[in-house]
């Protein structure tokens, strides 16, 4: 722990600078050191020394280059010894109250001091030393001027009396409390300023993130806020751990050393805060996490010793922290009998030292193994040989048989110039794996026994590929099920001596194709393999591996299963308890041996046929057998939203019997998306599905002996699986898929039939038949609605004349109806498809029997409208209209009148606001007029309020009519009464004519309204019309002249 600097081992203490009056520095400094917490002071005897407080030029300029490191080397020391939180300017009262020259000097010194600390944000305190024996009294005006000059609060201008003990103690206490308050505020402001950068992520690199967290934590320690300091140190630690793998301008070794150094300092601070806070268990847990995070970061092999030295120092420092912490005295108990002076009981046994020695060997194995990986990648054979020698000896000492054999085989297969050494290692390792008793005595602990066989695996990137390389090539790329094909197996080894293989096992992804090749010259050892009953066994004349020479074996193979047939492993067994599993490789994609690539050796191809050597693959595709069952989908390609769409599926046997058949149904979106809306994926429900498979209705076969397990069907919204009964040749079976569209979407329906032609026992190969059908889902009925006010009656609705409300934007969009007036709701249903539809019923309330109607045919593009009267009663402010329910079905000969074929479409109606209109304007006009004949045009204004209403009305002239009466006037309508305006109107033109438009304005509501153009339109006949109607008592007819009111 002594390696850490003092500023890191001790908590930071606030720093105050005293400027001027050096004779008072000693008592002030002594008092500040006695405070809790203490305060350090930096004494400057004269104002001329304040230049050390100024920022350097490089500190003021913004950095133009990337961050040079993670933490500044002297930042913590600088803030503890050179950057004060508070600067106290001490002036004698004689200078403050003296002549103008002295006062000018005080002002000059104060300005220089303010300029020096302006870039530091340090707090300023002015102390005026006043002697009780002095005859000069402090001028109040000078004190106010001094405070304004320094820009201080009154409490930061302190009068210090040093020559009276009582007043001296009072001055010191006031000075100490002021320093403590300002220093705490300074460190709090500095921490908040940097923390703001962290929250805004205002930093260009990860290094600055760590640096900012560290600074905020130090400022928190200045304020004795241990919780905040602990959190920020932990944040810096976690960010530092994440940047281990990031790229940087520094070399990797230097970068890792820097990260570990900073991590060590952060771990020291965190552990210190936890232990001195009494959190022993948290400190131990944190150290375990620290050890686990950096234990594996050893770095480059050539500097691994630095890692172990750093890791050991972590344990040493933490142990010293535990010894000096008061938390261990209260929370720990003795777990061993020994102490620091006397050894533990374990140290009196030799097993302890053997265990430590083994740990050292295992540690060496780990370090050397990482080194050998680098040597393999770079191809440094000489260095690799030396490293493998050390690894081999370490594994021999530890008794690790598998590692010893692998390192020995790799060394024997290296292109080393010393052939004799390779041969010696070759003989030694095979003596070990074969259990040869004539081997050296030092290998007694490395014997391989039959009860513990040794198994070595060689993959595509293993360094043991030079020991055994297996190449497998099929002579064809695609074969029929059950058709034989040829396969060539080639083996190559770079071992210095010949190797006899007792048995070869070739394994495929289809285990039925596995077979074994035994060595004809060593047939007495063929029993070493546990051959399964029925497993194919071949005999080869010899299975001897010769150095750098391919051994080629060609055999016939066939597969009854369709799909991919691939050779996975080639297992070579040598002896009773040793085998090498080699991953099979294709000749066309086989890589060279990296260490033998540039050696002077004869290269050959793995197969005799050159074309097979350059294009051969270790896998072949087995085609599916030709199905003799017909699968058909009979349905139209247009479905309507809401209806149950039926798709008949017909299976007809035309040469194969169907055993254990399964029918799989899949619904897939043709556009590549899912059947579920992405917005509704979080709140999944059946209603959110665009398309769903509802059910599958099956036609049961006459064979009643179908097992109950075959009747099990699995149906999901987009997937279905049902069994198919047994079918003889010529039989057929059908089912119907019921699919419902909740929303318009095109889908692709995939139906797959899988069956066994001869039963599961006789025909292991399953035959599959696939069919697909694209179905377009469209919306059949589109509904809309419209509210209409009473004809020839226009109520004044105040909500329509109010300005829009920002708090309720829907207030203007929701419809409003007058109370106690009969309005009309017009619902429109439009056929948007090419399919004719039959409308069964339309109602607002499903229980209303009067809303049913006879079937109404609706062709493509046609609209159907239904009118519902709406008369709001009572004093309701909002009328909930509910929804319109429309029942319809397809108009086709196949559809029936059953309720199951009907589709229910709902159209939601908005809530209607009910208002009591204060005024109602009614028009009374004849249904038609005759050119030149006068008629009466009556306008009634109804006042429904208990108030007197002032009404201004105006009647516009019309070129088609001549009228008599007042065109505009102001009238008063009594409460709960009506006022009628009557005009005589003579039409001047025939046809549809617009009556003179009347505009009524209510002064109380500052609102004007007029009837609609439709209500103010009348048809004018050129002459009096004669209407004919059938007599009630006969078939004759009579003419009746039209009458006008």
Which whole-number Å values give the CA distances from 67 to 26, 79, 204, 208, 354, in the listed order? 42, 20, 9, 7, 49
| Residue 653 forms part of a structural domain | yes
**Whether residue 111 is found in the same domain as residue 166:** yes
Confidence band for 683, pLDDT divided at 50, 70 and 90: very low
Mean pLDDT of 602-607: 86
Count the domains in the chain: 7
| Residue 227 forms part of a structural domain | yes
Least confident of 231-245, 573-587, 886-900: 886-900
Which SS3 state, helix, strand or coil, does residue 559 take?
coil
| Residue 690 forms part of a structural domain | yes
Instruction: List pLDDT tens digits, range 126-156.
Output: 998 888 766 556 778 888 888 888 888 888 8
Of 776, 793, 742, 788, nearest in space to 944 by CA: 793
**Whether residue 845 is found in the same domain as residue 985:** no
CA distance 426 to 173: 88
Q: Compute the Cα dihedral for 965, 968, 973, 976 and give only its sign.
A: positive
- How much is the pLDDT for 354? 40
**Residues 6 or more apart from 657 whose CB is under 8 A from it?**
726, 727, 728, 729, 757, 758
State residue 1011 phi and psi, 5-degree precision.
-65, 160
The sheet carrying 15-19 orders its strands as 40-44, 15-19, 86-92, 123-129, 157-160
**Whether residue 367 is found in the same domain as residue 300:** no
Mean pLDDT of 399-422: 88
pLDDT tops 50 at residue 626 = yes
Which segment, 385-399, 588-602, 989-1003, is predicted with the most confidence on average?
989-1003
Instruction: List pLDDT tens digits, range 836-849.
Output: 888 888 888 744 44
**Whether residue 360 is found in the same domain as residue 504:** no
| Residue 543 forms part of a structural domain | yes
Mean pLDDT of 914-928: 88
Of 902, 898, 873, nearest in space to 885 by CA: 902
Answer yes or no: are the C-beta atoms of 932 and 991 closer than 8 Å. no
Q: Compute the Cα dihedral for 798, 803, 808, 813 and give only its sign.
A: positive
Which whole-number Å values give the CA distances from 373 to 297, 311, 405, 462, 580, in the listed order? 16, 23, 18, 11, 22
Residue that is last in its domain, among 181, 203, 225 = 203
Residue with the bigger pLDDT between 671 and 286: it is 286
CB atoms within 10 A of CB 59: 9
Cα torsion 347, 348, 354, 357 to 10°: value is 40
pLDDT tops 80 at residue 236 = yes
CATH number at residue 47: 3.40.50.2300
**Residues 6 or more apart from 513 whose CB is under 8 A from it?**
557, 558, 559, 565
- How much is the pLDDT for 246? 72
Pairing of strands 998-1002, 638-640: unpaired
Instruction: List pLDDT tens digits, range 24-63.
Output: 889 999 998 888 889 998 888 887 777 777 766 554 444 4
**Whether residue 863 is found in the same domain as residue 923:** no
**Whether residue 524 is found in the same domain as residue 568:** yes
pLDDT tops 90 at residue 643 = no
Pairing of strands 551-557, 123-129: unpaired
Residue with the bigger pLDDT between 131 and 711: it is 131
Of 729, 764, 765, 734, nearest in space to 657 by CA: 729
CA distance 243 to 1008: 73
The DSSP code sequence of 587-641 is: GGGPPP-GGGTTSS-----SSSSHHHHHH--SEEEEPPPPP-EEEEE---SEEEB
State residue 800 phi and psi, 5-degree precision.
-80, -15
CB atoms within 10 A of CB 49: 14
- How much is the pLDDT for 361? 56
**Whether residue 53 is found in the same domain as residue 195:** yes
Of 666, 758, 790, nearest in space to 720 by CA: 666
Answer yes or no: are the C-beta atoms of 706 and 733 closer than 8 Å. no
Q: Compute the Cα dihedral for 686, 692, 697, 701 and give only its sign.
A: negative
Question: Quick one: DSSP state of residue 727?
Answer: B
**Residues 6 or more apart from 331 whose CB is under 8 A from it?**
278, 280, 281
pLDDT tops 90 at residue 357 = no
pLDDT tops 80 at residue 897 = no
State residue 427 phi and psi, 5-degree precision.
-65, -40
For the chain, the first-to-last Cα distance in angstroms comes to 116
Confidence band for 892, pLDDT divided at 50, 70 and 90: confident
Q: Which helix (H) or strand (E) holds 169?
A: helix 165-200
Which SS3 state, helix, strand or coil, does residue 973 take?
strand
Which whole-number Å values give the CA distances from 238 to 198, 228, 267, 289, 747, in the listed order? 14, 16, 11, 11, 50
pLDDT tops 90 at residue 314 = no
Domain that holds residue 247: 207-332
Least confident of 178-187, 330-339, 897-906, 1005-1014: 330-339
**Whether residue 834 is found in the same domain as residue 706:** no
**Whether residue 745 is found in the same domain as residue 793:** no
Q: Compute the Cα dihedral for 232, 236, 237, 241 and give only its sign.
A: positive
What are residue 826's DSSP bridge partners?
786, 867
Answer yes or no: are the C-beta atoms of 561 and 482 closer than 8 Å. no
| Residue 1035 forms part of a structural domain | no
| Residue 855 forms part of a structural domain | yes
- How much is the pLDDT for 499? 92
- How much is the pLDDT for 130? 86
What are residue 537's DSSP bridge partners?
516
Confidence band for 330, pLDDT divided at 50, 70 and 90: very low
Q: What percent of the chain has pLDDT over 70?
A: 82
State residue 582 phi and psi, 5-degree precision.
-110, 130
**Whether residue 801 is found in the same domain as residue 936:** no
Mean pLDDT of 688-705: 69
Secondary-structure breakdown of the chain: helix, strand, coil percentages, each rounded to the nearest 5: 35, 30, 35
CATH number at residue 267: 1.25.40
| Residue 598 forms part of a structural domain | yes
Instruction: List pLDDT tens digits, range 424-433.
Output: 999 999 988 8
- This prediction's pTM: 0.46
Which SS3 state, helix, strand or coil, does residue 568 take?
strand
**Residues 6 or more apart from 202 whose CB is under 8 A from it?**
196
Answer yes or no: are the C-beta atoms of 432 and 405 closer than 8 Å. yes
- How much is the pLDDT for 975? 92
Residue that is last in its domain, among 915, 930, 954 = 915
Answer yes or no: are the C-beta atoms of 596 and 466 closer than 8 Å. yes
Instruction: List pLDDT tens digits, range 771-811.
Output: 998 888 888 889 999 888 887 888 888 877 776 665 555 55
CA distance 693 to 717: 5
Answer yes or no: are the C-beta atoms of 690 and 741 closer than 8 Å. yes
Least confident of 40-54, 294-308, 680-694: 680-694
Of 188, 143, 594, nearest in space to 373 by CA: 594
- How much is the pLDDT for 680? 42
- How much is the pLDDT for 648? 92
The DSSP code sequence of 483-506 is: --EEEEEEEEB--SS-EE-SEEEE
H helical segments located in 498-629:
610-615
pLDDT tops 90 at residue 232 = yes
Please give the radius of gyration of the chain, using alpha carbons only, rounded to the nearest integer.
50
Confidence band for 352, pLDDT divided at 50, 70 and 90: very low
Residue that is last in its domain, among 749, 777, 805 = 777
Of 451, 450, 469, nearest in space to 459 by CA: 469
Residue with the bigger pLDDT between 989 and 296: it is 989
CA distance 12 to 218: 7
Average pLDDT of the chain?
Answer: 81
CATH number at residue 566: 2.60.40.10
| Residue 1039 forms part of a structural domain | no
CB atoms within 10 A of CB 714: 10
Q: What percent of the chain has pLDDT over 90?
A: 21
Pairing of strands 578-583, 454-458: parallel
Instruction: List pLDDT tens digits, range 434-470.
Output: 877 555 555 556 778 777 889 999 999 999 999 999 9
Question: Quick one: DSSP state of residue 11?
Answer: -
- How much is the pLDDT for 371? 77
pLDDT tops 60 at residue 687 = no
H helical segments located in 56-164:
57-60, 75-81, 93-96, 100-117, 140-150
pLDDT tops 70 at residue 97 = yes
Answer yes or no: are the C-beta atoms of 603 and 630 closer than 8 Å. no
**Whether residue 602 is found in the same domain as residue 636:** no
Residue with the bigger pLDDT between 252 and 1033: it is 252
**Whether residue 428 is found in the same domain as residue 465:** no
pLDDT tops 60 at residue 920 = yes
């Amino acid at each position: 722990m002594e390696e850490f600097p003092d500023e890191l081992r001790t908590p930071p203490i606030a720093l105050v600078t005293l400027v001027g009056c050096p004779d008072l520095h000693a008592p002030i400094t002594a008092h500040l050191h006695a405070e809790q917490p203490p305060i350090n002071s930096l004494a400057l005897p004269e104002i001329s020394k304040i230049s050390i407080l100024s920022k350097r030029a490089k500190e003021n300029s913004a950095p133009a280059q990337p961050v040079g490191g993670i933490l500044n080397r002297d930042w913590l020391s600088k803030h503890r010894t050179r950057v004060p939180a508070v600067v106290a300017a001490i002036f004698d009262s004689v200078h403050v109250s003296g002549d103008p020259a002295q006062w000018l000097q005080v002002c000059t010194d104060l300005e220089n001091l303010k300029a020096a600390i302006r870039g530091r944000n340090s707090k300023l305190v002015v102390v005026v030393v006043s002697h009780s024996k002095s005859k000069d009294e402090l001028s109040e005006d000078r004190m106010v001027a001094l405070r304004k000059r320094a820009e201080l609060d009154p409490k930061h201008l302190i009068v210090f009396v040093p020559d009276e003990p009582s007043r001296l103690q009072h001055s010191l206490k006031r000075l100490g409390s002021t320093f403590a308050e300002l220093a705490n505020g300074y460190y709090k402001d500095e921490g908040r300023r940097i923390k703001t950068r962290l929250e805004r992520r205002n930093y260009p690199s990860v290094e600055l993130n760590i640096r900012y967290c560290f600074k905020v934590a130090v400022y928190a320690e200045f304020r004795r806020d241990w919780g905040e300091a602990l959190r920020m140190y932990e944040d810096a630690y976690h960010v530092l751990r994440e940047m281990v793998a990031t790229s940087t301008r520094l070399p990797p070794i230097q970068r890792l050393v820097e990260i570990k150094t900073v991590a060590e300092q952060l771990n020291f601070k965190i552990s210190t805060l936890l232990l001195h806070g009494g959190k022993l268990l948290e400190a131990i847990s944190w150290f375990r996490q620290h050890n686990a995070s950096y234990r594996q970061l050893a770095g480059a092999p050539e500097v691994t010793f630095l890692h172990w030295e750093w890791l050991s120092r972590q344990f040493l420092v933490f142990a010293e922290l535990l010894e000096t912490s008061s938390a261990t005295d209260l929370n720990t108990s003795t777990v061993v009998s020994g102490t620091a002076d006397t050894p533990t009981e374990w140290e009196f046994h030799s097993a302890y030292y053997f265990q430590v020695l083994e740990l050292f060997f295992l540690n060496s194995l780990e370090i050397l193994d990482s080194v050998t990986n680098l040597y393999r990648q770079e191809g440094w054979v000489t260095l690799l040989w030396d490293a493998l020698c050390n690894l081999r000896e370490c594994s021999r000492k530890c008794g690790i048989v598998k590692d010893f054999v692998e390192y020995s085989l790799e060394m024997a297969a290296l292109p080393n110039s010393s052939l004799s050494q390779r041969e010696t290692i070759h003989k030694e390792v095979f003596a070990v794996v074969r259990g040869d008793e004539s081997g050296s005595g030092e290998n007694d602990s490395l014997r391989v026994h039959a009860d513990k066989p040794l198994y070595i695996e060689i993959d595509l990137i293993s360094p043991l590929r030079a020991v055994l390389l297996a190449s497998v090539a099929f002579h064809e790329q695609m074969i029929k099920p059950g058709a034989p094909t040829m396969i060539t197996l080639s083996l190559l080894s770079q071992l210095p001596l010949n190797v006899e293989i007792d048995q070869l096992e070739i394994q495929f992804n289809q285990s039925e194709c596995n077979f074994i090749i035994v060595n004809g010259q060593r047939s007495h050892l063929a029993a070493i393999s546990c051959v399964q009953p029925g497993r194919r066994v071949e005999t080869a004349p010899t299975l001897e591996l010769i150095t750098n020479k391919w051994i080629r074996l060609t055999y016939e193979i066939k597969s009854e299963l369709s799909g991919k047939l691939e050779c996975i492993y080639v297992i070579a067994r040598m002896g009773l308890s040793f085998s090498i599993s080699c991953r099979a490789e294709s000749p066309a994609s086989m890589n060279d041996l990296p260490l033998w690539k540039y050696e002077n050796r004869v290269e050959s191809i793995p197969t005799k046929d050159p074309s097979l050597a350059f294009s051969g693959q270790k896998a072949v595709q087995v085609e599916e057998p030709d199905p003799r069952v017909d699968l058909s989908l009979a349905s139209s390609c247009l479905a309507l939203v809401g209806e149950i769409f039926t798709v008949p599926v017909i299976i007809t046997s035309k040469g194969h019997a169907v055993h254990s058949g399964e029918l799989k149904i899949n619904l897939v979106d043709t556009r590549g998306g899912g059947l579920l809306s992405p917005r509704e994926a979080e709140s999944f429900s059946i209603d959110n599905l665009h398309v769903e498979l509802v059910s599958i209705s099956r036609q049961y076969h006459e064979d009643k002996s179908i097992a109950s397990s075959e009747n099990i069907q699995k149906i999901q919204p987009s997937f279905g699986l049902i069994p198919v009964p047994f079918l003889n040749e010529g039989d057929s079976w059908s089912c119907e898929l019921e699919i419902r569209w909740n929303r318009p979407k095109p889908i692709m329906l995939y139906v797959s039939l899988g069956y066994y032609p001869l039963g599961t026992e006789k025909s292991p190969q399953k035959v599959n038949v696939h069919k697909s059908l694209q179905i377009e889902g469209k919306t059949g009925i589109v509904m809309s609605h419209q509210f209409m006010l009473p004809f020839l009656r226009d109520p004044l609705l105040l909500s329509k004349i109010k300005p829009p409300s920002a708090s309720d934007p829907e207030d203007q969009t929701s419809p409003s109806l007058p109370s106690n007036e009969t309005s009309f709701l017009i619902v429109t249903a439009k056929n948007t498809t090419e399919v004719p539809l039959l409308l069964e019923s339309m109602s607002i309330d499903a229980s209303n029997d009067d809303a049913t109607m006879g079937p109404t045919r609706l062709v493509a593009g046609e609209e159907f409208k239904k009118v519902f009267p709406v008369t709001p009663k009572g004093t309701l402010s909002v009328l909930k209209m509910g929804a319109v329910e429309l029942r319809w079905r397809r108009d086709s000969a196949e559809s029936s009148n059953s309720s199951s074929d009907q589709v229910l479409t709902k159209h939601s109606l908005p809530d209607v606001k009910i208002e009591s209109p204060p005024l109602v304007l009614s028009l009374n006009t004849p249904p038609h007029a005759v050119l030149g004949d006068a008629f009466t045009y009556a306008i009634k204004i109804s006042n429904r309020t208990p108030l007197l209403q002032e009404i201004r009305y105006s009647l516009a002239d019309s070129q088609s009519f001549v009228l008599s009466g007042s065109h505009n006037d102001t009238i008063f309508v009594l409460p709960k009464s009506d006022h009628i305006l009557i005009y005589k109107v003579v039409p001047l033109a025939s046809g549809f004519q617009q009556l003179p438009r009347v505009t009524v304005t209510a002064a109380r509501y500052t609102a004007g309204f007029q009837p609609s153009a439709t209500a103010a339109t009348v048809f004018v006949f050129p002459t009096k019309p004669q209407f004919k109607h059938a007599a009630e008592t006969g078939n004759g007819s009579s003419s009746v002249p039209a009458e006008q009111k």
